[in-house]
Amino acid sequence: MTTLRLDDRNLAVLTLQKQLNALGAGLYPDGHYGEQTEQAVRDYQRRTGLVVDGIAGPKTMAALAGQDIGHLLKQRDLERAAERLGVPLASVLAINLVESKGNGFLDNGRPEILFERHVMRERLLEHGYILPSLGTPEATAAALAERYPGIVNATPGGYAGGAAEHQRLAQARQIHDSAGLESASWGLFQIMGYHWQRIGYASVQEFAHCMAENEAQQLGAFVRFIEADQALHKALKARKWAEFARRYNGAAYARNLYDVKLTRAYEQFAWLQEAA
């Protein structure tokens, strides 16, 4: 689904303006996503409880189409996260815009995941998993990698994407339930399952259950992830975006301009926050 934002000009914007006008926006329908259209989108998002960013993405479009949005991230969820982390709301809005996948769930209602076969191999070794006929975790991992290279492998890759990632996860769970769940990244912020203990869940099964509930739970896991890393939390509080991006995204952050995107997003939302 197309995402519409400030300065876009097309028929989709015209349709959006007509939808907003049907709800009383009073826009001139010219197909230009100007400041008045942006404000009308923010007003609609505020009324429906959605994240107030002025961007007409899939979630705003779903709400306008009358779809159920109960499981989606709400503005109040971000406000609570900002309060818990001790940072301005604009910082959390910026992170949500830049670092999240945009949607925490697939169209079939399952959480967005990405299964990592190389992590599955590592987790099997960590759990000391042994097939009776093989005797050692290393021999077991090698045998499983030969038999199921798409599920257990020393090399990253083998991604299927979308709903097919759940099929890979299901296969992994048949081998070892906990290792399988630990080997996927989950939800809006793609938190790896193996972090479950460090971020305060009773088990990886509880973590996975929470990630399947709603996007607020997924944001909650991300907040815990930041709290568990003192240096990451400190960088966020100081708005040192390059340091935050390096610690969260790794060495490739500069190539992908994550720090630049976070800086710009913060400036955008800081202005909106002051104007609110």
pLDDT digits (tens, 9 = 90+) for 212-253: 999 999 999 999 999 999 999 999 999 999 999 999 989 889
Q: Is the dihedral of CA 211, 217, 222, 225 positive or negative?
A: negative
Distance (Å, whole) CA 97 – CA 261 = 9
* Residue among 71, 81, 64, 75 nearest 106 (CA): 71
Please state the pTM of the whole predicted model.
0.91
Residue pair 273/89 in contact by the 8 Å Cβ criterion: yes
Give the up-direction half-sphere exposure of residue 4: CA atoms within 13 A in the CB hemisphere.
23
C-alpha span between 49 and 31 (Å, rounded): 25
- Please name the residues in contact with 190: beta carbons below 8 A apart, sequence gap of 6 or more: 101, 112, 114
Q: What is the pLDDT of residue 275?
A: 54
Which 3 state secondary structure label does DSSP give 100?
Answer: coil
- Range 38-44, long-range pairs (CB < 8 A, 24+ positions): 38/5, 38/6, 41/16, 42/272, 44/20
Q: Which string of DSSP letters, residue by residue, matches 213-226?
A: T-HHHHHHHHHHHH
**CA distance readout (Å), 97 to 7, 140, 165, 233, 239:** 18, 42, 24, 18, 15
Nearest Cα to 100, choosing from 221, 14, 205? 221
Per-residue confidence in pLDDT tens, the chain, 276 aa? 689 999 999 999 999 999 999 999 999 999 999 999 999 999 999 999 999 999 999 999 999 999 999 999 999 999 999 999 999 999 999 999 999 888 999 989 999 999 999 999 999 999 999 999 898 999 999 999 999 999 999 999 999 999 999 999 999 999 999 999 999 999 999 999 999 999 999 999 999 999 999 999 999 999 999 999 999 999 999 999 999 999 998 988 989 899 999 999 999 888 766 555
| Average pLDDT value for the chain | 95
Q: What confidence score (pLDDT) does residue 21 get?
A: 98
The two tokens of residue 78 are: 């971000």
CB 168 within 8 A of CB 115: yes
- Count the Cβ atoms, other than its own, within 10 Å of residue 152: 29
pLDDT digits (tens, 9 = 90+) for 15-32: 999 999 999 999 999 999
What domains sit in the chain, N to C, each tagged with a CATH number? 1-68 (1.10.101.10)
CB contact set of 271 (below 8 Å; sequence gap of 6+):
none
